[in-house]
Amino acid sequence: MKKETNSEDIIFGSEAMREPAPSEFIPKHKTPADTAYQIVKDETFPQTQPRLNLATFVTTYMDDYGTRLMNESVGINYIDETEYPRVAVMCGRCINMVANMWHSPEKSEWKTGAPGIGSSEACMLGGVAAWLRWRARRKAAGKPYDKPNLIMSTAYQVVWEKFCQLWQIEMRTVPITSKHPTLDIERAIEMCDENTICIVPIAGVTWTGMNDDIEALNDALEQYNRITGYDIPIHVDAASGGFILPFINPEKKWDFRLKWVLSISTSGHKYGLVYPGLGWIVWKDRKYLPDEMSFSVNYLGANITQVGLNFSRPAAQILAQYYNFIHLGEEGYKEIHMNSMEIAGYCHDKIGQMPCFENYSDTLENPLFIWMMKPEYEKKAKWTLFDLQDRLMQKGWMVPAYTMPKDIEDMVVMRIVVRQGMSRDMADMLIADIKEAVEDLERLEYPTPSRIAAKKAERSKGHVFTH
**DSSP notation for 273-308:** ---S--EEEEESSGGGS-GGGEEEE-TTSS-EEEES
List, in sequence order, the alpha helices (H) in 152-280: 158-166, 185-191, 214-228, 245-248
Residue 37 maps to a domain: no
Q: What pLDDT does residue 7 have?
A: 52
Q: What pLDDT does residue 234 have?
A: 98
187 C-beta neighbours (distance < 10 Å), count:
15
Phi/psi at 368 (nearest 5 deg)? -155, 155
pLDDT, tens digit, 9 for 90 and up, residues 10-29:
888 788 888 888 888 888 88
Residue 98 maps to a domain: yes
Q: Are residues 96 and 213 in the same domain?
A: yes
Residue 122 maps to a domain: yes
- pLDDT exceeds 80 at position 45: no
Residue 336 maps to a domain: yes
Q: Where a domain ends, among 313, 342, 376?
A: 313
- Mean pLDDT across 325-334: 97
Pick from 406, 390, 405, 383: which is nearest to 454 by CA? Answer: 383
Rounded CA separation 386/399 (Å): 10
Query: Percent of the chain beyond pLDDT 90?
Result: 75
- Residue 324 identity: N
Q: Where a domain ends, among 284, 313, 342?
A: 313
The residue among 341 and 456 whose pLDDT is bigger is 341
Q: At what angle do helices 119-140 and 158-166 cross, to 10 degrees?
A: 40
Q: What pLDDT does residue 296 have?
A: 59
Kindly indicate the confidence band of residue 111, based on its pLDDT and cuts at 50, 70 and 90.
very high
Q: What pLDDT does residue 5 have?
A: 44
Q: Are residues 139 and 264 in the same domain?
A: yes
Q: What pLDDT does residue 355 have?
A: 96
List, in sequence order, the alpha helices (H) in 141-264: 158-166, 185-191, 214-228, 245-248
Q: What pLDDT does residue 454 have?
A: 87
Counted domains in the chain: 2
Q: Are residues 303 and 335 in the same domain?
A: no
Q: At what angle do helices 424-442 and 385-394 cross, to 10 degrees?
A: 120
Residue 57 maps to a domain: no
Q: Are residues 95 and 125 in the same domain?
A: yes
- Mean pLDDT across 327-332: 96
Q: Are residues 308 and 346 in the same domain?
A: no
Kindly indicate the confidence band of residue 2, based on its pLDDT and cuts at 50, 70 and 90.
very low
Q: Are residues 412 and 278 in the same domain?
A: no
- Tell me the pLDDT of the chain averaged across its residues: 91
Q: What pLDDT does residue 305 have?
A: 61
Q: Where a domain ends, among 250, 281, 313?
A: 313
Q: Are residues 176 and 234 in the same domain?
A: yes
Residue 55 contacts residue 416 (beta carbons within 8 Å): no
| Domain CATH for 424 | 3.90.1150.160
Give the domain range for residue 225.
77-313
Residue 147 maps to a domain: yes
pLDDT, tens digit, 9 for 90 and up, residues 412-464:
999 999 999 999 999 999 999 999 999 999 999 999 999 998 887 755 555 54
Residue 341 contacts residue 248 (beta carbons within 8 Å): yes
Peptide bond into 268 cis (omega under 30): no
Q: Are residues 127 and 273 in the same domain?
A: yes
pLDDT, tens digit, 9 for 90 and up, residues 263-285:
999 999 999 999 999 999 999 99
Weakest mean pLDDT among 8-22, 80-94, 131-145, 436-450: 8-22
Q: What pLDDT does residue 299 have?
A: 52
Q: Are residues 230 and 278 in the same domain?
A: yes
Q: Are residues 249 and 134 in the same domain?
A: yes
Q: What pLDDT does residue 435 have?
A: 98
Residue 318 maps to a domain: no
Q: Are residues 218 and 347 in the same domain?
A: no
Q: What pLDDT does residue 304 have?
A: 53
**Coil, strand or helix at 328:** helix
Kindly indicate the confidence band of residue 465, based on its pLDDT and cuts at 50, 70 and 90.
very low
- pLDDT exceeds 60 at position 467: no
Q: Which residues of 9-26 are buried (b: 16+ CB within 10 A; e: fewer)?
A: eebeebebeeeeeeeeee
Q: Are residues 309 and 336 in the same domain?
A: no
- pLDDT exceeds 90 at position 397: yes
| Domain CATH for 98 | 3.40.640.10
Q: What pLDDT does residue 461 have?
A: 55
Q: What pLDDT does residue 126 have?
A: 97
Residue 106 maps to a domain: yes
Q: What pLDDT does residue 16 have?
A: 82
